[in-house]
Chains A and B, each alone.
Chain A
Amino acid sequence: MNYKLQTKAKFSESKTSLFSKRRREPSHPASVSFPGGTHPPGSKELTRESKIQPGPAGKQVAIMLSQHIGAICEPLVEKKQQVQAGQKIGDCDAFVSATVHSPVNGKVKEIALRSHAVLGRGPAVIIETEPENNPPKQPCSAKFTSDFNDDSYSAEQIRYAVRQAGIVGMGGAGFPTSVKVEPNPKAPKEAMIVNGCECEPYITCDYRIMLEWTNQIVAGVKLARKAAGCSEVFIGIEDNKPEAIEVMNTALKTSANSDGIKVVPVKTKYPQGGERQLIKAILKKDVPTGGIPPMIGVLVLNVATTAAIAEAVVTDWPLTHRVVTVTGEGIVNPGNYYVPIGTSVAELIEFCGGLREEAVRIILGGPMMGIAIADLTTPTTKTTGAVTVLTEKQIGGAKFAGIQTPCIRCGRCLEACPEHLNPTKIAHAVKNNLLDVAESYYISACMECGCCSYVCPANIELTGYIKTGKILLARQKKKIPQ
């Protein structure tokens, strides 16, 4: 697998050349992909060499009671109560939910509202701490060696630990992992895909953990496979990360009980890390429109999630910390940090040397799908993989030069859409308030990846219109009595 790896690394960050609108990515000989998509500049060079370092030991953390898809947790603590690091502070009986824990030793200040990038404002447990009582938590990757064996853990045991640890999909959506790995007799899981694509520009947290926590990830993959009861596992990694492909391959080779686990290099293309796109690339299967991967017997987990599973099962420690890439041209010291979940964006930015003069946009997540925030007290959550700060130069482009024109019907958005939709038709239907037309063009199948807006020469905010349309539709459906 390590042929030509060296030469490829050199090219992988090349800028868009004048004569090609698609970047000419040198592709791995065996790389697979999906039709559609686009090639935004990777911009990963800012942080790809920065090792994971301990993050800020802040004075305050805010743990959102809902960091996941599903029911909101009830707080288990009261004002002024002392809490220990790792203590459960929120829980819920609903099947689709995930518990939350305190990452620090400290005192509950209050239960107040905080903004969540996707879910809007919601209740959060605010915990005050003294940095003296809180030495930075060390990653547990050192506990894992290549001879890790999953035989001593039963499937029930693993599922119980995952549920107790409050693990959710750490790649973005935040679906409770306990629900995902639960075997379903009606749809047995045939294959598991581990998502190490990290196709979103700028972000390198998954890349770093693949390099630094390799054995922990392999252990997590084995445990997750056992819990879900499937045999075949594919680890999809984009071919602009040859080093990650190599270390994962080496780790698998030396690891016991790793038959059936395979690293699959996938083409560097956005949004290769989308669940449906990754399944298409690796298994050549389409997830039905409006359906979810389990319907075709597939389980997709992010690499960070598998690392969390390993930690939860082996060391019995809940999901309280995660690696966050703080990056972008607008930040003084970009890097990868292991931070307590609940640290505010303001604290993270301060820890990284603050904003540069030119910073104009702060994004939770990456530039393609991330949410721009104005409220810096917004806490990080289990799904926050990055804080990206961009300057006028990156977001500028044509958009700020004021060259927005009507749609010239060039069809570029159709070509780029990984879901094969007609973004311009949907966006214009929403603009003219024709929601039924938008529905007839399958607005709900849009994954909001942003490819269409990215490629549009007329600079129309297609994804923005589509998101608005979905919200309007949801409201309309609520109003109509059943």
Chain B
Amino acid sequence: MLKVDNVSVSYGDMQVLWDVTFEVMEGELVALLGANGAGKTTILNTISGLLRPHSGNIYFLGKEITRIPAHRVAELGIAHVPEGRRLFPEMSVKENLEMGSLLPEAKKKRKETMEWVFSLFPILKEKQNQEAGTLSGGQQQMLAIGRGLMALPKLLMLDEPSLGLAPVLVNQVFEIVKEINRRGITVLLVEQNIMHALKMCTRAYVLENGRVTLHGIGTELLNNQHVKEAYLGI
């Protein structure tokens, strides 16, 4: 479904991604793991068209999308739930969700999708008229995911949805991610919470200093010696 092929990206003179290659198949929940500064967010922003690779290509549903304008990426069915949530802080919860469904297809089903999102996150329904900036961290994360779902995406990219959340909420967010995937939405999950992510994903890629160093089935990587030492501390 999504194929990232030998992609290299730089910020000015500083190269941060080196020949990154990975693939996400339809229906999968693929985890992209790595430490701080490994380049995970950079990859997602490159897929979203905000950054341009200086070499390599990106394909989605068989079409090359490497150089299409950033605002056209959403049209293809890719929703990006960015790092740090990036909500519209002075808009209400409801307006944030509406912003998630601007494109014609999603707009037609706006009401139903919003009901679905409210059923996943009842707290959002309760606070629908409140400004997004006034929500707690956990609620903001739920809103960010909800806003992504409003687009009825084929592929949902989540950038560290568990970042900064209390442990109870972390579990809740991961449960929701699994639920979303069960509903048939393909998920690309970027995480530093390696243990959790490996347990729930179909496959995982490990990114180190801008290079993919390992990949495999989640449960297999859990037993990988390098993963154990470097990321799980065992």
Q: Do A and B come from one complex?
A: no
